[in-house]
Amino acid sequence: MQDGVPARRVAVPLRISQRAATARAGASVKALCGETMGTRWSVRLVVEESRELASIVAEIASALDGVIAEMSTWEAGSAISRINAAPAGSWHALPANFYRVLEYALAVARDTEGAFDPTVGRLVALWGFGAGAEVQCVPTAEAVAAARVDCGWARIELDKPRRAALQPGGVRLDLSSVAKGFAVDRVAAVVREAGVESFLVEIGGELRGEGVKPDGMPWWVALERPRGSASGAAPIADIVVALNGLAVATSGSAEHFFSIGGRTFSHTIDPRTGSPVAHDLVSVSVLHRECMHADALATALSVLGPDAGMEHALRLGLAARFVSAVPGGYRERLTPQLAAMLA
């Protein structure tokens, strides 16, 4: 620690991807970027200086447009919006990617006993967040109870041979806590299919990296943490991770919220209660091979809270960081898998 500021820590994967672990002579880092899902995407890739990138940009844009067309509740004509508006008892054939994401989301819901739930859309909107929200307010207990009737991951049935899902009636799917991570994975797949082995993909703070830069250095990224957590009575040092064959996602309640009457309400809704989480956990970062997994699991752990979340992370063997608010600052807890990565 210097002048009251904690020293930066470095985390290195225990297993290095061999496919792209060496620098490439004659290559350089080129940057691409654009807008998607109400945020920005960026890709840094290691290619020959003379390589034309217009086709890669077009493929990335097409892949991201495809995710939006299938899984964005902000688009009235998307596949997910059509299912949300469909009558009770109707079955819907899903695009392959949509089915994969929904199937995984339901698996996480089952594994967390509903702490993560892709059917929570009506509750999210009721509290004034996400698509369909009218105003941020504290709804009545009766309104919460009514919205919860239309929620419940176990109500969704899947027909795998037909790749179809049942709308049981009133369910409003919301894949916002997993679709962005999946979009990162899709962009990574596009870049790999273009023959690029070393790259860093980011969409709205969620990242996935492969290989190394031309100088042999990895893609260094800092784990997100709450504002002000590097100061105060309990400062937290940055953790900078070498993203070689890894993705990272962070879920937190400190950045998106509203306050009424001196009380703060997080955008993270606990499907089991129908209300925003009320514990002191403000940030969870998860490292995983796939960003879709990191995205969903970070949200699930945020809902579970500091103790149950840590227990679940340990059970799954996740590399994760938990940051909780304490008097005068923040407290950090690392899983053994992440602690073992610290150099």
The pLDDT of residue 23: 55
Asked if pLDDT for residue 17 goes beyond 90, the answer is no
Q: How high is the mean pLDDT of the chain?
A: 89
The pLDDT of residue 31: 96
Give the integer Cα–Cα distance in Å for 141 and 128: 15
Model-wide pTM > 0.85? yes
Give the integer Cα–Cα distance in Å for 252 and 318: 17
Give the integer Cα–Cα distance in Å for 54 and 57: 5
Pairing of strands 9-11, 239-242: parallel
Asked if pLDDT for residue 199 goes beyond 70, the answer is yes
Give mean pLDDT, residues 171-189.
Answer: 97
Counting Cα atoms < 13 Å in the Cβ hemisphere of 287 gives 29
Give the integer Cα–Cα distance in Å for 329 and 29: 38
Give the integer Cα–Cα distance in Å for 274 and 91: 27
> CA 267: distance to chain centroid?
14
Q: What is the pLDDT of residues 23-53, one digit of tens each?
A: 566 789 999 999 999 899 999 999 998 899 9
The pLDDT of residue 18: 55
Asked if pLDDT for residue 225 goes beyond 80, the answer is no
Residue type, 211: G
Who wins on pLDDT, 18 or 295?
A: 295
Q: What is the pLDDT of residues 53-93, one digit of tens each?
A: 999 999 999 999 999 999 999 999 999 999 999 999 999 99
Percent of the chain with pLDDT over 70: 87
- CB proximity list for 261: less than 8 A, separation 6 or greater: none
Asked if pLDDT for residue 235 goes beyond 90, the answer is no
Give the integer Cα–Cα distance in Å for 265 and 268: 9
pLDDT band at 1 (very low <50, low <70, confident <90, very high): very low
Q: What is the pLDDT of residues 248-287, one digit of tens each?
A: 999 975 555 555 555 665 678 899 998 888 888 989 999 9
* Structure token digits, residue 181: 């991570």
Judge contact between 207 and 201, C-beta under 8 A: yes
Asked if pLDDT for residue 2 goes beyond 90, the answer is no
Percent of the chain with pLDDT over 90: 72
pLDDT band at 8 (very low <50, low <70, confident <90, very high): confident
Fold of 79-176: T-fold (1.10.3980)
Extents of the domains making up the chain: 79-176
Q: What is the pLDDT of residues 122-164, one digit of tens each?
A: 998 887 777 666 667 777 899 899 999 999 999 999 999 999 9
